[in-house]
Amino acid sequence: MLADFSERVLLSAMANDVETIYNADQTAVNYEYLPTKTLNPTKENNVWVKCAGKTKERATAMLLGDTDGNKHPPFLVLKTTKSKKKEVVQENLTMRHGFGRTVWTEVEPLQSEFGCEIYGNPTAWWNAGISLAFLKYHFGDRPDRETKKIMLLWDDFSAHFTEEVVAYAESINVVLERIPPRFTWVCQPADVAGSAVEVRAAGELAR
């Protein structure tokens, strides 16, 4: 199957006159709140301060590289509370990557500090809306998008191939190719190696 996948990518690249191929690696990131308690010794009285009560949290990271050896800003999806008001939810999605006003004041500076894009939702899972944001951020404004096609390899995951995502990719001349599930570890070494950037950013936000 790996040979078939390689041949499919090669033939597609030739048919579409693709020179640059991008590889997007979606991976789970687990980070820890350390410590969960802090001890403040004052001779006779020890004061214990409880933190959030969680020891581990989950985030989703999408890493991106290309055939020229370039690494591009990662996308992170963190868990955040969803407002009960529909209009607030829509405002957060439109203006603050899914975060509320208060949390966004912490998230926005982290994007600049760590060179990444950070989104939030109640599950910390990737979804079709974030797939669209990912495509727009990385490929929507490239100067040759009207005349030159590029290829994006990413996981065979439903949120990567919805009708809306596929249609938008076609509109900006991005050829989407599915990586077979059993071969992501071969095609996407970041799944094995991990990345320090998203772990640090997620940890900073958790403080």
Question: What pLDDT shows up at residue 28?
Answer: 80
How do residues 45-60 score in pLDDT, each as one tens digit? Answer: 444 444 344 545 678 9
Which residue range(s) make up the domain with 24? 2-206
What is the CATH number for 135? 3.30.420
Which are the contacts of 2, defined by CB distance < 8 A and separation ≥ 6? 180, 183, 186
Higher pLDDT, 197 or 108: 108
Judged on CB neighbours under 10 Å (0-12, 13-18, 19+), 146 is exposed
Higher pLDDT, 189 or 146: 146
pTM of the entire structure? 0.78
Q: Annotate 6-69 with DSSP letters as a single string.
A: HHHHHHHHHHTT---EEEEEEEEEEEE-S-SEEEEEETTEEEEEE--S-SEEEEEEEEEEETTS
How do residues 67-102 score in pLDDT, each as one tens digit? Answer: 998 999 999 999 999 899 999 999 999 999 999 999
Whether residue 74 contacts residue 61, with contact meaning beta carbons closer than 8 Å, is answered with yes
Query: Cα torsion at 49, 54, 55, 59 (round to 10°)?
Result: -140
Overall domain count for the chain: 1
- Judged by average pLDDT, the poorest of 51-55, 100-104, 129-133, 139-143 is 51-55
